[in-house]
Amino acid sequence: MSSAALTSDALHVLWHDLECGRYVADLPLWRELAAEAAGPVLDLGAGSGRVALDLARAGHDVTALDLDPLLLTALDARAAEAGLSVETVRADARDFSLARRFALVLAPMQTIQLLGGAEGRAGLLRCAQAALAPGGLLACALADALEGFDAEHTEPPLPDVLERDGWLFVSQPVAVRPDAAGTTIERIRQTVSPDGARTAEGDTIRLDALDGDALEAEGVALGFHPAGRRFVEMTDEHVGSEVVLLRA
């Protein structure tokens, strides 16, 4: 890999894969739910295909929806390379309409907490409800509580690190700032070339404060029926999550 090969588009996908794409702890749950649903699956906030490609490998009929065209292009390329069939749709998870209906709609990896509050969540819930076949299931993952840095939590989380063709990519969380409305997570992304040249830039994401009871209540208010909860255990590198199930 030369420095010329490190285009902004390639780096955009690489950082997404480094920070999100290598998480696997939730995949067994999505496979289980897809097997139980026994019908088409819609993956919301699909990114570069972490969940969608895994389900396609297991033989499921999967549609992947995301707003980011670069990530969907990467997903398409990976599906083609693996000989998998995954339909991709570029759309906002808060505002989409699809012609087909699904037995299962997934919102993995805290997608539901990235929507900018209750109005954004209501948009996703309404669209998901319209996309579900009668009796279909919506499954939304919520991050367990994130601790900020304080007297008890003085060390930042371990960085995400990738080495490729002599290049080193490091994404280091440097601040976790919880407040009443949510949590802001700040990272520094560093790139080190084979000759030792370094670059660094900041990145920030915001997770809405939301628990399972509140999300369930919002779903019920829009016509969903509670269908239980599932849980994904924490790992050494990632927080756990609660998965809220809502039946159309």
The confidence score (pLDDT) of residue 151 equals 44
The encoded tokens of residue 176 equal: 């976790």
Model confidence at 155: pLDDT above 90: no
The confidence score (pLDDT) of residue 235 equals 81
CA distance 107 to 87: 17
**Of the candidates 210, 216, 244, the residue with the CA atom closest to the CA atom of residue 230:** 244
- Give the C-alpha distances (Å, rounded to integers) separating 167 from 5, 159, 171, 194: 11, 16, 13, 5
Model confidence at 2: pLDDT above 50: no
Query: Is residue 83 domain-shared with residue 11, that is, in the same domain?
Result: yes
What's the domain range around 59? 3-145+210-247
Model confidence at 147: pLDDT above 60: no
The confidence score (pLDDT) of residue 156 equals 61
SS3 content of the chain, % helix, strand, coil (to 5): 30, 35, 35
User: Given pLDDT bands bounded at 50, 70 and 90, which one contains residue 5?
Assistant: low
Query: Is residue 92 domain-shared with residue 127, that is, in the same domain?
Result: yes
| Cα-Cα end-to-end distance for the chain | 48
**In this predicted model, which residue has the larger pLDDT, 231 or 149?**
231
Query: Is residue 49 domain-shared with residue 126, that is, in the same domain?
Result: yes
Residue 150 forms part of a structural domain = no
Query: Is residue 31 domain-shared with residue 120, that is, in the same domain?
Result: yes
Mean local confidence (pLDDT), 90-104 = 98
Four-CA torsion 18, 11, 114, 210, nearest 10 degrees: 20
Query: Is residue 216 domain-shared with residue 201, that is, in the same domain?
Result: no
Residue 58 forms part of a structural domain = yes
Q: Whole-model pTM above 0.95?
A: no
User: Given pLDDT bands bounded at 50, 70 and 90, which one contains residue 22?
Assistant: confident
Model confidence at 3: pLDDT above 90: no
Mean local confidence (pLDDT), 119-136 = 98
Model confidence at 88: pLDDT above 80: yes
Query: Is residue 104 domain-shared with residue 168, that is, in the same domain?
Result: no
Contact 23, 45 (CB under 8 A): no
Side by side, which strands form the sheet with 102-107?
86-90, 62-66, 41-44, 102-107, 132-143, 241-247, 225-232
Residue 27 forms part of a structural domain = yes
Mean local confidence (pLDDT), 119-125 = 98
The confidence score (pLDDT) of residue 185 equals 92
Give the count of domains, the chain.
Answer: 2
User: Given pLDDT bands bounded at 50, 70 and 90, which one contains residue 24?
Assistant: very high
Q: What secondary structure letter does DSSP report for 56?
A: H
3-class state of residue 190 by DSSP: strand
Residue 155 forms part of a structural domain = no
